[in-house]
Amino acid sequence: MDDLFIFLLPYTIGRQTNKMGEGMMTMYKDINSCILIPSLSETELKRLRQEIQSFCDQWISDASLTNKLPDWINNLSLGSRDINGSLLSEKKRLVILLYIFVEMKNFLLTLGFYTFRKHEAEKTLQKMVEQVSCETVLNVQQDDRHRPLIEQFNKAFPSVKLPSYIQKKTAEEKQQHIQWLRRWLARPHFSLYKEYYNRIGSPEEKEEARTYAINSLALQISHPPTRRTLFQILTYHKEFDLGFTLLRRHQLDPLLQSIEEKNFVQEMSAQRPELTLPLYMQWIESLVEKKTTKHYKVAASFLSGLKENMFILNQEKNWSLFLSLLKSKYKSYKAFNEELKKYG
């Protein structure tokens, strides 16, 4: 009958070792717990165990058999039926596959060789179960008769993930996530980004959205609207180190800074004052070189910020030194020296 199932007894293991060069066979003793697999006769079950043990004996000494593991499993013969044959349903093939790997691990553990084949075994198993449909996996998982096997399998291979509707849904959501970011990049807008970012539940997707947005906008930083959106996002995520680097690398006349850049610098000054020092020094000198009253006044505003942050950072001596250097370098700039008198 198609629905007939037999009990397969897991085993405590007592070894009987033949000649070392001819491989090792293990005899198993029954224990009380049991697992279920589809209708296999005792003869078929015995044949399957022997095939597993024989392969493991060879695999221990010949690592190249790793490449033949999938073919060996698919071509296993259970009397008149092959594991991969049409006479076995996908559900039964999956159950037998899980059983084979559980038995294989038990056997290799007993011989003390599992750690030497662990990576190859689990990598092969993951590839093989990924070929099974979500429907089949769910069918097996919901069948109470398979619960002992599933529990043993999950315990034996916690890192192997069976296909599931959750994974399928996650893949679909990830694709939708990427598509949204690509559409947004065509016309980037901070409020849309912020709204979308706050809706994301997954920490991984939040990180992906943040990285994608910042890296993509940074490539277009010469475009003024894009630059404004970029610095809004940098301020929102408090990415002060990156913003500092971009401001140094892509300099603008401080008078041409957007409101978004000014807000970023103001927030950076409040939270990371040490980052503003080289920026303020650079901007002050570039403004003074313009030799206009308007530029002098803006330079003086940065001087105020520089002094405040240097004192916060206990760099009073550096402030005095920088002020002295400015007076010396620009001593012929009378209007600017008038500004400097306000600072001592």
Longest dimension (CA), the chain: 105
In this predicted structure, the answer to whether residue 50 has a pLDDT above a threshold of 90 is no
Q: Residue 16 — very low, low, confident or very high, per pLDDT cuts 50/70/90?
A: very low
Tokens linked to 95? 């159950």
* Model pLDDT, residue 45: 73
Residue for token pair 């990598």: 123
Q: Residue 29 — very low, low, confident or very high, per pLDDT cuts 50/70/90?
A: very low
* Model pLDDT, residue 19: 38
Tokens linked to 333? 């700039």
CB 132 within 8 A of CB 94: yes
| Out of 54-68, 227-241, 301-315, least confident range | 54-68
* Model pLDDT, residue 25: 37
Mean pLDDT of the chain: 80
CA-wise closest residue to 59 among 126, 123, 120: 120
* Model pLDDT, residue 158: 87
* Model pLDDT, residue 87: 45
Cα separation, 137 vs 23, whole angstroms: 35
The stretch 139-156 carries a mean pLDDT of 81
pLDDT tens-digit series, residues 320-343: 999 999 999 998 998 888 888 887
* Model pLDDT, residue 252: 78
76-81-84 Cα angle (round to 5) = 55
Tally the residues of the chain. Answer: 344
The stretch 139-159 carries a mean pLDDT of 82
Q: What is the DSSP letter of 330?
A: T
More confident residue, 83 or 145: 145
Hey, what long-range contacts does 1-5 have (CB within 8 A, 24 or more apart)?
1/39, 2/39, 3/39, 4/38, 4/39, 5/36, 5/37, 5/38, 5/39, 5/145
pLDDT tens-digit series, residues 71-107: 888 887 664 455 554 446 788 888 888 888 888 898 8
In this predicted structure, the answer to whether residue 316 has a pLDDT above a threshold of 80 is yes
* Model pLDDT, residue 30: 33
pTM above 0.85, yes or no: no
